[in-house]
Structure 1
Amino acid sequence: MKTSKVRVITMAAIMGAVAFVLQFFSFNVPVLSPFANFDFSALPEIIGGFILGPIGAIEIIVIKLGLILAFKGTSSMFTGEIQNFLLSCAYVLPAILYYRKHRTKKGAIIGLSIGTILSIIIAIFTNLYLIFPAYIYLYGMSWDQILAICAAVNPLIANKLTFVAFSVIPFNFISRITTSILCFFLYKKISKPIKHFIQE
């Protein structure tokens, strides 16, 4: 039992490290917003979470963010890292909890869909009322300046409503849907060796 727990923790650390590495392959989506950076780090979080459970998923996310801060530092006074944690949890935890009760392909699809929808809703509120207000305060900026920066690359953005409609929602939708599709097709192949390692 003790060996199994050690293997679970070890696997969470490995998956967190993989998520960290995937962060280096991020790319900007300027048509949506200069603040929108897409990467595949949520993939090991969701796959690892399906195997290790919700606590394992949180461990993977925390390890990823810890490695980012240790090796890259923060470029947003921790607002980006806080947002990353909140949205990662909002995406993976509902999906994992649903899938644990409905272990079928349909259950996985529904779970991933729930996680996608909830993470988009959370993203709207955190962007408007938590992360950007904190960012604005810490950097001595204003919402008008943030919107002007966004409008420079996306002319459809003119106010907070259009910022949500043409940046926050489409970016998070594309990000989560892409991750969900990859998870759906890769899970079986990746989960087998991981489960073998844990149960060995």
Structure 2
Amino acid sequence: MGHQQGTIANTQTGKMALKTITKVAVLSAISVIVMLFEIPLPFAPGFYKVDLSEVVVMIGTLAMGVVPGIFIELIKVLLNLLINGTITAGVGELANFVIGCSYIVPAALIYRHRKTLKTAIVGMSVGTVSITIVGALMNLFVLLPAYSALAGMPLDTLVGMGTAVNPAITNVATLVLFATVPFNLLKGVVSSVLVLLLYKRLSPILHR
């Protein structure tokens, strides 16, 4: 009897794992499709474009947990690299993965202890602050220098693109302060609002 129960338990665990993998794969594919639709911003140079793929990743993370969410983020970034390629030779994808995780992980860790609307709002608010800070640091020390070096474009040229849309941008630090920071702050706020609007409708499907 004990052996039979163990077999049944293992079978059920295997089915659950397969369902989780399937959900991760589907959500990763959807997030990549959403990622293809980029929106330019009037206050930032043209290489800053908002996509709403983190909405899909966050919904999956809140529904299934931190680890599946990280895998959705990772697969999304890798698929986008295969589809679009990159001028930053993978450096940008690594940075975007870290930035994406800085948004979903704090939110999921806060939400999992008490799954209520309030903790979801608190979690995504913390995630929005996190993505703003981490995004600024990654752009300042990784993304902008990598883009400049691999594209053969001096940092002053990137700064000049920022100055063209905002005269307050005069160096790399102000480019990050007046373009990167509001970019990631806006992305976090908009993504969080959309998650709040969509999660209740979609979570029953993900919890089946």
Q: TM-score range by the shorter chain?
A: over 0.9
1:160 matches 2:172: yes
Q: Displacement of 1:72 after TM fit? A: 1.9
| TM-score in terms of structure 1 length | 0.92
Q: Displacement of 1:8 after TM fit? A: 0.2
SS of structure 1 residue aligned to 2:207: helix
Larger Rg: 2
Corresponding position of 1:100: 112
Corresponding position of 2:5: none
Corresponding position of 1:182: 194
Q: For 1:69, which of 71, 77, 81 is the aligned residue? A: 81
Corresponding position of 1:172: 184
Q: Displacement of 1:31 after TM fit? A: 2.5
SS of structure 2 residue aligned to 1:101: coil
Q: For 2:37, which of 25, 31, 40 is the aligned residue? A: 25
Render the CA deviation track for 1:72-103: whole Å, top value 9, x for unaligned: 22233323322221110000000001100121
Aligned AA (2:32): F
Render the CA deviation track for 1:17-71: whole Å, top value 9, x for unaligned: 0000001211221432222111110011000001111110111111112221222
Larger mean CA deviation between 9-18 and 144-153 belongs to 144-153
Aligned AA (2:155): W
Does the 8 Å CA contact 2:87/2:147 hold for their aligned counterparts?
no
| TM-score in terms of structure 2 length | 0.89
- Stretches of structure 2 lacking an aligned partner (at least 5 in a row): 1-12
Aligned AA (1:17): A
Corresponding position of 1:109: 121
Corresponding position of 1:54: 66
Corresponding position of 1:131: 143
1:78-97 residue pairs with structure 2 within 5 A? 78-97=90-109
Render the CA deviation track for 1:122-153: whole Å, top value 9, x for unaligned: 11111111221222222333322220122123
CA RMSD of aligned residues (A): 1.4
- Stretches of structure 1 lacking an aligned partner (at least 5 in a row): none
Does the 8 Å CA contact 2:88/2:146 hold for their aligned counterparts?
no
Corresponding position of 2:3: none
Moved over 6 A (4+): none
1:147 matches 2:153: no
How many corresponding residue pairs? 196
Render the CA deviation track for 1:134-184: whole Å, top value 9, x for unaligned: 222223333222201221233221123321221011111111100001111
